[in-house]
Structures are given as C-alpha cells and as structure tokens.
Amino acid sequence: MDRTTGSGARHVKVALLDESELVMHGLRAMLEPHSAVISVVPHRPDGPAPLSDLTLYEPSAHRRTTGARGVPQRFPTRMVAFGWDCSPEAVSTEMSRGAAGFVSKWLPARRLIWNLLQVADGRVVVDAWNGQPQASRPTADKWPLTHRETEVLSMIASGLANREIAEKTNLSINSVKSYIRGAYAKIEVTSRSQAVLWAIQHGLLVSSDNGAEGQRAVAQQVRA
C-alpha cells in the first residue's frame, strides 16, 4: 500500500494510552518499517500528554484503570478506540462516547496505518475486522438501498468525505447529500458513525487495500 510511504506524506504521531509494555513494544515494532509517516509514543494517565496527532486507547483497559465511563476528554488529540472486542455493541458504545475512530487489534500493519492516517486527516473511520470472513449480506430482493445509495454508503464506511465521494462518483455534492439522506432514512440512522456501524453489520465495510475497485464490486453484487 504505497499510500503509507509517499515522500510527501506528513508524519503522524500516535500516543498509546495506558497499555502494557508488551503492547507498546509490539506496536512500535509493527510501525517501525513505516516510521517516515507514523510513529508511536507512550502515554500514562498520570503524566503529561505527549505531543501527538492521535491517542489510541483500549476501552476496557481505560475504564478498568480509571473508572471512567467514557472516552478520555482531557487530551488535545483525536481519540481512537483500539481493541480485540470488535462487536457492533463495542463499536457503537465508543463512537457514541465521542471516539473519532475504532480500529481492531486484529488488523495487519498496513491496514492499521492507513486507517490511522485517515483519522489524522479528520475522517471518522471504523475498521472492526476480526480476522474472520465477513457475514453475507441480505439477498438483492431484500436489500433496502438502491445501487447508488449502496455505493455512497460503502464509501462513507471507507472513510471518504462527501466531497471525495462526489469526485469519485461524478455526482454533485448536493446529489451525494441527497443519496446519504435517502440511505439514512431507509436504514433508520441519524449520524455518520451510526451509518458506518450499519455498514459493518451488513458487510459494506470495504478494505482500504481494495479502494474504488472493492466499492464497485459491492455495488455490483447488491445490484445483481
């Protein structure tokens, strides 16, 4: 995935909150081959927050250690949940508490890095892949969305902003918003994070490594 190694990419610092020494060293070793664009720094709750772009935290570990019920709010970076429990309930809980993203500890290095770079650029990203094949989607005759709504929703799940979706689909920004409103109404969600969660539950989360080709495949399968 060349997107993590481009010479023009800015360097992103990721603080790892309250994790064990084993996890810290493991994540550092995992990111070391891509140190030109991303690096990890340790952070303890009782110490000053390091200068960073993102803060990774393990939801259950944070609540166990601090007794806090929500995402830590005192750090000046975007918070990203990072855990083994990738159930829809776990993802929904952290996103509703204000996390800017949720990434699985099952992810391979390049996919994890791409997701973190997307969050650092201001996108909401959820990648709860658990190493298992994705559940099959409903058959076409039961699918609630149109071909275009499916395509737009899959791009939202991949972390694209509305303007990027417009560019990739050759639609106007107003048309994109119209398809998003239509999709939200049909799947009964009211926010982008809820839409991403719905996409995960229904197999629309396209791997970053597949890009637009994967998005087209999803739309074609639903339309078929």
Q: Exposed (0-12), middle (13-18) or buried (19+): which is 138, by Cβ within 10 Å?
A: exposed
Question: Do 111 and 211 form a contact (C-beta atoms < 8 A)?
Answer: no
Query: Looking at residue 4, what is its pLDDT?
Result: 43
What is the Cα–Cα distance from 93 to 76, expressed in whole angstroms? Answer: 21
Query: Looking at residue 46, what is its pLDDT?
Result: 67
pLDDT in tens, 127-177: 888 776 655 555 555 778 888 998 898 888 777 889 999 999 999 999 999
From 27-31, 112-116, 155-159, 176-180, the region with the lowest mean pLDDT: 155-159
What is the Cα–Cα distance from 90 to 164, expressed in whole angstroms? Answer: 28
pLDDT (average), residues 185-191: 90
Tell me which of 90 and 73 has the higher pLDDT: 90
| Whether the predicted pLDDT of 221 surpasses 50 | no
Query: Looking at residue 70, what is its pLDDT?
Result: 47
What is the Cα–Cα distance from 167 to 176, expressed in whole angstroms? Answer: 10
What is the Cα–Cα distance from 15 to 158, expressed in whole angstroms? Answer: 23
- Which two three-digit tokens encode residue 176? 């994109």
Please state which of the four CATH numbers 3.40.920.10, 3.30.450.70, 1.10.10.10, 1.20.58.760 is assigned to the domain occupying 140-223. Answer: 1.10.10.10
Tell me which of 27 and 204 has the higher pLDDT: 27
Task: Look up residue 150 and give its amino acid.
Answer: T
Give the CATH number of domain 2-127. 3.40.50.2300
140-223 matches 2-127 in CATH topology: no
pTM: 0.60
Query: Looking at residue 137, what is its pLDDT?
Result: 53
Question: Do 223 and 147 form a contact (C-beta atoms < 8 A)?
Answer: yes
Phi-psi region at 30: left, alpha or beta (left = phi > 0; alpha = psi -120 to 50): alpha
What is the Cα–Cα distance from 36 to 39, expressed in whole angstroms? Answer: 8
Query: Looking at residue 138, what is its pLDDT?
Result: 56
Q: Is 56 helix (H, G, I), strand (E, B) or coil?
A: strand
Average pLDDT, the chain: 76
For residue 155, the tally of other CB atoms under 10 A from its CB is 26
Q: Tell me whether strands 78-83 and 125-127 are parallel, antiparallel or unpaired.
A: unpaired
Edge-first strand order for the sheet with 125-127 is 38-43, 12-17, 54-57, 78-83, 101-104, 125-127
pLDDT (average), residues 200-204: 71
User: Could you tell me the pLDDT band of residue 86, with boundaries at 50, 70 and 90?
Assistant: confident
Domain boundaries, the chain: 2-127, 140-223
| Whether the predicted pLDDT of 104 surpasses 80 | yes
pLDDT (average), residues 27-46: 83
pLDDT (average), residues 62-78: 54
> What does the DSSP 8-state code read for residue 202?
T
Query: Looking at residue 198, what is its pLDDT?
Result: 83
